[in-house]
Structure 1
Amino acid sequence: MYTPKYSSDVGKNRENILMCAIHIIGWGILFAFPLMLNWQNRQPQTDAHWYLGYVMMPVSFMAVFYLNYFVLIPRLLFTRRWALFMTINILVIVTVWVGTHMWREFYMANFTADQPRRGKPGGPFDLPPVFFMARDVMLFLLTVGLAVAIKMTSNWYRSENQKKEIERQRASAELKNLRSQLNPHFLFNTLNNIYSLVEIDQRRAQDAVHELSGLLRYVLYEDNAPAVPLSRETAFISSYVRLMMLRTGKNVKVSLSLPQQDVGERAMVAPLLFISLIENAFKHGINPSGESFIDISVTLSQGSIICRISNGNFPKSDSDRSGSGIGLDNLIRRLNLIYPSAYSFSRAISDGIYTCTLVIPARMPDMQ
C-alpha cells in the first residue's frame, strides 16, 4: 500500500480547515440574516440601533453552542453522564435567556426609546411574552442539538480517519515483514543455484556471483521504496534470468519479452513483485532429463502491467521443495495489501503446461 509522506498530517489539516470554514460560514449567515431581510427598507440610523439589540441573540447562541461543543459534550455526554448534561444545559439556557431578556429590556428602554418600533399593530409585537420565551428556549434547544450533531459527526469522521491510519500503519508493517521474508527466500534460492554451478563450471559460477552482486544491490537499495519505475524492475528481472540461465543446459529454452526502457519509465510497480513467479518457473518448469521451456512476458496494455509466465510442469518432490510455496503465499499477501481489489492473478495447467498471469495497474493505487 503506497502511502504518501505526511498524508495523515495533510488529512488532519484539511479536516481542521473544513470545520473552521463551516463554523465561520454558519455564524456569518446567522449574524447577517436580519440585514439581508431588511435590505430593501434600510434606514441606517434605525437599522444600527435595532441591529445592536438583535446581535445579543446570535451571541447568546454562540455561547450555548461552544460551551456544549468544547466542554459539556466531551466531558458529560460522551462519558454517559446524561442527567448532569441535561441539568447543566437547562440552567445555562435559563441563565442566558434571562440575561438576554434583561439586555433587551435595558437596551430598548435606554437606547431606542425615541426610535420607531418595527412591526404593525396586531403584528408580532402584540403576541404574549410567553410566545417569545417559548420561541427563544426552542432555539436554544436546537442550538444544543446542532452542537451535539456536529460534534458527533466530527468525532465519527476523526475516528474513521484514525482507523484508516491504523490500518495503513498495520499494512505498512506487514509489507515490511513480507519483504524481510522475501529477501532471504530469494537469496536462499539464488545461492542454491550458484552452489550447483561451482561443482559443474567454476567460470560460470564466478559470472553468477558477479551477476548476484548486482541483484543484491537492487534488493538492498530499491526494496525499501514503495514503488519503482517498471524499467528498473524489468532490468532486475533480466539480470535474474541471465543468472538462472547460467545453470540451465542447452535443453532449456528461455524466452524473455520485456517493454522498452522508455515505455517502462512511465509505469510504476512495487519492487520484487514478479520475482516469486519467475523463481517458480525455474524451479518447477525444467525437466532434468529432457527438453523444456520457460516463456516470460511483461507487457503494458491499456493502463495495466501484465506478467505472463508459461513453462512445463515438473513439480519438485516433497523432499526437494526448498522453500517452495513461501514465495507465492508472500506474493498474494503483498498483492492484497498493495493492490486491494485492483489486481487479477490466475494459474492453470493444460496439456502439461503451467501458465500464470498477473495483471496490476500501471500506477500505484494512491498515486492515481
Structure 2
Amino acid sequence: MKKTVRFLYINIILHVLIWGLVLSLPYLISSAENEYKIGPVPGLFFSLAGCLHLFIFYFNAFFLIPGLLNRRLWWVYIPASALLIIGSFQLKYHMLLWWFPEVLKDMAAYKFVFAPSIVVFIISIVYRKVLDKLQYDRLQQKIKAEQLSTELKFLRSQISPHFLFNVLTNLVSLARKKSDQMEPALIMLSDLMRYSLYDTQIVKVPLAKEMAYLNNYIALQRLRFGDDVDIQYHTGQNIENENYTIEPMLLIPFVENAFKHGTGYLENPVIRIHVSIKNDQLVFEVENQIDQKPGASKDESSGIGLANVKSRLDLLYKDRHDLKIKTDKGMFHIVLTLMLK
C-alpha cells in the first residue's frame, strides 16, 4: 500500500514538473523584446495552446481510452477522438483570429500551431498503453503472490495432521511401555504443537526455532525407540545463529520420512542426520536404511511429506536450493543445500 501511494505521489510530481516546464518554455528560452516567441508562435499563444494540449492528453488518456477504447467501443472512440482533435483546431484558429491575427498570415506557422494537437494525442495513447501495461504487470504480481500464499497455506495445512499422527503414535508406544519419560514427552509435544500451530503462520522463522523443533522431534523418537534404532544426530556450531531465517516446517518431512521407512522390521536400523552451515549455506543430510522388499511402503501417505517439501522449495527457494535424493545399496540418502541469505 505504501509503495502504491509513493508511486502515485512521484507520478503526480513528475507530471506537474513536465507540464510546468512545457507551459513556461517560451519564458525560459525567449525574451520580452521578441514577445517570448518560439519560432513564429508568440509565447502567450504557446502557453494557451499548451493548456489545450494538456486537456487533450489527459482527456484521451484517462477518459476516452479507458472508457471507450479499452472496452472495444471503436465506433464511439474514433469519432470522439476526431471531434477532440478538430475541436482543438477550431479553438486554436479562433484564438489566433481574435488575439494573434498576424500569425494566420504566415502559412509556415500553421504546422507549429496545429500539428502539436496530433502529436500530443499520439503521446497520450502511448502513455496510456504503458500505464495499462504497468498496472497489468502489478495485478499479475499481486495475483501470483496471492496464489503463492494460498498454495503455501494449503501445503502447510497438510503438514500438521501428518506430523500429529506420527507423534501420537510415538506417545502410544511410550504409554504401552509405561515409560517414566511420558511426562517430558508430553511437554515436548506441547512445544512441538505450539510451534506447528502458531509459529508456522508467519512467512519465515528464525533457524534456531526450526532447529529446536527438530531437536524435540528427534528426542521424542529416541524416547520411543530407545536402543532399538541407532540415531546419529549432529549439528554444526553456528547452526542456531539468530541471523538466519528459514521457511517453517521445511526440514522435518525428511526426518519423518527417515523414521517412517528406516525403522520397523529392519535389522539394526541406523538413521543419520547432519546439519551444518558454511558461507550462509545450510547443508542438511538425512540417511536411513530402507526395506527393499516389494510392497514394503508403510501406508498410502508415504511420500506426501517429501512431495510437499519439494513443492515448497520450488515456490520459496527457486534457484536458491539444491536437493539430491538417491537410493544405493539399501540406503536412502538426501542432501539439501539451501541458501539462507
TM-score by length of 1: 0.82
AA matched with 1:69 = A
Superposed counterparts of 1:53-92, under 5 Å: 53-92=45-84
Mapped contact 2:324–2:334 kept (Cα < 8 A) = yes
In structure 2, distance between residues paired with 1:202 and 1:263: 31
In structure 2, distance between residues paired with 1:296 and 1:158: 48
Superposed counterparts of 1:1-368, under 5 Å: 9-38=1-30, 42-43=31-32, 46-47=35-36, 50-108=42-100, 128-129=106-107, 131-260=108-237, 263-286=240-263, 288-314=265-291, 317-318=295-296, 320-321=298-299, 323-363=301-341
Deviation at residue 196 of structure 1 after TM alignment: 2.2
Please give the secondary structure, in 2, of the residue aligned with 1:250: helix
User: CA 1:321–1:204 in structure 2 vs 1: closer, same or farther (change >3 Å)?
Assistant: farther
User: Could you give the per-residue CA deviations for residues 159-197 of structure 1, whole angstroms, max 9, x where no partner exists?
Assistant: 111111111111111211111111000000111122223
User: Could you give the per-residue CA deviations for residues 220-274 of structure 1, whole angstroms, max 9, x where no partner exists?
Assistant: 2211111111011111111110001112242432222234468521111011111
User: CA 1:290–1:249 in structure 2 vs 1: closer, same or farther (change >3 Å)?
Assistant: farther
Mapped contact 1:251–1:290 kept (Cα < 8 A) = no
Deviation at residue 62 of structure 1 after TM alignment: 0.5
Please give the secondary structure, in 1, of the residue aligned with 2:198: helix
AA matched with 1:320 = K
Deviation at residue 37 of structure 1 after TM alignment: 3.2
Instruction: Tell me the equivalent position of 1:4.
Output: none
User: CA 1:304–1:177 in structure 2 vs 1: closer, same or farther (change >3 Å)?
Assistant: same
User: Could you give the per-residue CA deviations for residues 47-76 of structure 1, whole angstroms, max 9, x where no partner exists?
Assistant: 499432321121111111111112111122
User: CA 1:140–1:217 in structure 2 vs 1: closer, same or farther (change >3 Å)?
Assistant: same
User: CA 1:181–1:193 in structure 2 vs 1: closer, same or farther (change >3 Å)?
Assistant: same
Mapped contact 1:61–1:143 kept (Cα < 8 A) = yes
Q: For structure 1, which segment, 28-37 or 165-174, has the greater mean C-alpha deviation from structure 2 after superposition?
A: 28-37
AA matched with 1:71 = F
**Structure 1 stretches lacking a partner, 5+ long:** 1-8, 110-116, 118-124, 364-368
In structure 2, distance between residues paired with 1:25 and 1:303: 46
AA matched with 1:137 = F
Please give the secondary structure, in 2, of the residue aligned with 1:246: helix
User: CA 1:74–1:347 in structure 2 vs 1: closer, same or farther (change >3 Å)?
Assistant: same
TM-score by length of 2: 0.88
Q: For structure 1, which segment, 22-31 or 139-148, has the greater mean C-alpha deviation from structure 2 after superposition?
A: 22-31
User: CA 1:136–1:359 in structure 2 vs 1: closer, same or farther (change >3 Å)?
Assistant: farther
Deviation at residue 78 of structure 1 after TM alignment: 1.2
Deviation at residue 18 of structure 1 after TM alignment: 4.0
**Structure 2 stretches lacking a partner, 5+ long:** none
Task: State the identity %.
Answer: 26
Mapped contact 2:211–2:240 kept (Cα < 8 A) = no
User: CA 1:127–1:52 in structure 2 vs 1: closer, same or farther (change >3 Å)?
Assistant: closer
Instruction: Tell me the equivalent position of 1:6.
Output: none
